[in-house]
Amino acid sequence: MATDLRRRLASLLVVRGSGHGSDGQRRYPRWELPNAELQRLLADGVGGVILLGGSAAELRLRTEQLRRWADGPLLLCADVEEGVGQRFEGASWLVPPLALGRLFAQQPDQALTLAERYGRCSGRQARLLGLNWVLGPVCDVNNNPANPVINVRAWAEEPEAAGLLAAAFVRGCQAEGVLTCAKHFPGHGDTSSDSHLELPLLPHSRARLEAVELPPFRAAIAAGVAAVMTAHLQLPALDAERPATLSTAVLTQLLRGDLGFGGLVVTDALVMEAISAHHGPAEAAVLAFEAGADLILMPADADAAIDGLVQAVQSGRISEERLAASLERRRAALERCRPAPAALQALDDLQKLLEPQELQLSRNLLDLSLIRHGDARLPAGPGLNLIRLDTQLNAPQLPAMAPALLRPAALGYSPTVFDARSPSPWSDDPAAPLALDRLAPGPVLLQLLVRGNPFRGSAGGEEPWPAVLAQLLAAGRLAGLAVYGSPYLWEQLQPLLPPTLPAAYSPGQMPEAQAVLLERLGLAAAPLEGGFTD
């Protein structure tokens, strides 16, 4: 009986694994379980895996392997908010959702059509590669430009647009037989800190939540979203003691009761500092389950989390009826999933992954969201291609063959890339913050790959880019500007540019976005660039 109870509770855990096959390829070994532990947990009944890393081909092999290891049906998911190619190379990597929100303000019908196609593309490719759950859409309203973690991941900056676009994504993705997940409930858009690093405080009243934060979740629920993910937020208006993930007032009374959601409730990762800094893995899992969560995502220690849940049921802290309800919701969700086609086995079959209409969707989204400043082309070098890269390990947006590197090089601009791990390029003079004496001479193409990202701790607005532009212009050295990612940074810098200076903005940071933007600045495809064609 005890063994049966343990297996039933284990099925409600979702643990982290690498999309790569071998332990040595894990990108984040602190979070991604080694294969021996992953195989043991799946054999013991753990019911879900969240994956990151690897190519599309590797993902297909990996999902098949995990299903062989498992004792029962698995939920296999990934944070592919911007298309499957955001995490798994070879699939479609689409512009961030906020680009659709900006388009919605001008062309609402077109934006909604594209959002549904965005969902269909994500769902179809996820299913072909063995995933049955897309951890999106982000239903947060990004009404705080300084938000360090949501930012361009949100679908819009206004509640109505965010809800309509998120609902369109849900309909498109779930039409492909793949579950979706509205996150981060009840709304992470108006925070100035990152719950990966600390517990943010959202001081708004219930009336304000009803007006701004909750409408997109209501829209997603009305569209039939399969799951809702909790936010690690402190909301005193709803619960003065516990964060939303651990709050009965938020998950049971508000989400289940007031919003009428009957699907799966999944925690955000319990290993995040907002939770793990205050609660051990067993107590965090029990508190989340007591509050109304069905699935426990990424506990800091899976065995301890299961032990804690077993003890809670045996002691009567969690009732058998409550456990049965979560198990039934998980079973019902899995029944909604369409399996991956068994025929997709060989690498040659993966050529079917990118359909022509999906390639066109990716390009259309880039074209529609690009903003061009001035009509001039970037002048020929020799010069300096100065690239600011987001603080991200294993940055997939800047591989060795990236257009942002190769195209300017073909025009005579030598690259210098810096991020938080690089030697500081800053001087002590706030009026001239860039240490030009440490940089190569000549005209400067400034390329800024800046956006809010988990673990970054900021949205990039703290760096003195307006002063840098003024400094380079005064020195006669600014040849061009490219901003990838944050629309807020672009809106801050564009008014400072001379009318004829070649500059452009793209919400995407991926190599295809670089190719499209640099094409508009007159930089043709470079030799050896690969598949990023004009």
> Which amino acid does the sequence have at 177?
G
> Which amino acid does the sequence have at 296?
I
> One of 184, 196, 279, 373 is an active-site residue; which one?
196
Q: Quick check: 298 and 269 in contact, CB under 8 A?
A: yes
- How far is CA 414 from its chain centroid? 31
Q: Quick check: 159 and 215 in contact, CB under 8 A?
A: yes
Place of tokens 């077993």: 310
Q: Is 516 left (phi over 0), alpha (psi -120 to 50) or beta?
A: alpha
**Residue 429: count of CB within 10 angstroms of its CB:** 11
Q: Percentages helix, strand, coil for the chain, rounded to the nearest 5?
A: 40, 15, 45
Residue 296 tokens, joined: 């426990």
> One of 190, 268, 294, 390 is an active-site residue; which one?
268
Instruction: Specify the 3-state DSSP secondary structure of 77.
Output: strand
Whether 534 sits among the annotated catalytic residues: the reply is: no
Whether 140 sits among the annotated catalytic residues: the reply is: no
Strands 503-506 and 371-373: antiparallel
Which has the closest alpha carbon to 201: 124, 266, 122, 144? Answer: 144
Distance CA 309, CA 290 (A): 10
Distance CA 524, CA 2 (A): 66
In the sheet with 264-266, reading across from the earlier edge strand, the strands are 181-185, 227-230, 264-266
Distance CA 145, CA 336 (A): 37
Cα dist from 449 to 103, 433, 509, whole Å: 21, 19, 6
Burial class (CB in 10 A: 0-12, 13-18, 19+), 492: middle
- How far is CA 408 from its chain centroid? 29
The length of the chain is 534
In the sheet with 13-18, reading across from the earlier edge strand, the strands are 133-134, 75-78, 48-52, 13-18, 296-297
Cα dist from 105 to 98, 102, 114, 373, 462, whole Å: 11, 6, 14, 20, 28
Strands 264-266 and 181-185: unpaired
The residues carrying an active-site annotation are: 196, 268
